[in-house]
Amino acid sequence: MEVPSVESALLRLCQLSFCELASNNCALSLHRSVLSFAAFMKADIHPKYVDAEIRCACGNVIKTRSTKPVIIVGICNVCHPFYTGQQKFVDTAGRVDKFQQRLAKTQAAQAAAATKKKKK
């Protein structure tokens, strides 16, 4: 059996109508066309698909498969507020405190500028 070229197989797939797809003969030729694409795929270019662990900051571990053996996430379904129904604030490195300090400093500067304008 002669293997069709990629161009001819794609042209044939584009020419198929809905009625032709329903027939068995077309399904067989479609199957052969798809199989012919496998001959043109490059070998050894895909990463290895291995067993993996997804580790959350809360300590939850989920077993799955991935191209990376270990995936570390900051939040998962066990600790996410949407799933738990509890709201918690995560203050990393005092960001909330730093923001509040900047806000107070800005408001003080704006108030000083406003009193300076009133004096003039």
3-state secondary structure of 57: coil
Which pLDDT value is given to residue 92?
A: 64
Residue 13's pLDDT band, with cuts at 50, 70 and 90, is low
Answer whether residue 97 shows pLDDT above 80. yes
Q: Of 58, 82, 83, 86, give the one whose Cα is nearest residue 72.
A: 58
CATH code for the domain defined by 47-87: 4.10.80.400
In the chain, what percentage of residues exceed pLDDT 70?
Answer: 60
- Could you state, in order of their start, the residue ranges of all structural domains in the chain? 6-38, 47-87
Give the pLDDT confidence of 63-87 residue by residue, as tens digits: 999 999 999 998 888 888 777 777 7
CA distances 84 to 16, 59, 80, Å, are 50, 15, 6
Task: With 0.95 as the threshold, say if the pTM is over it.
Answer: no
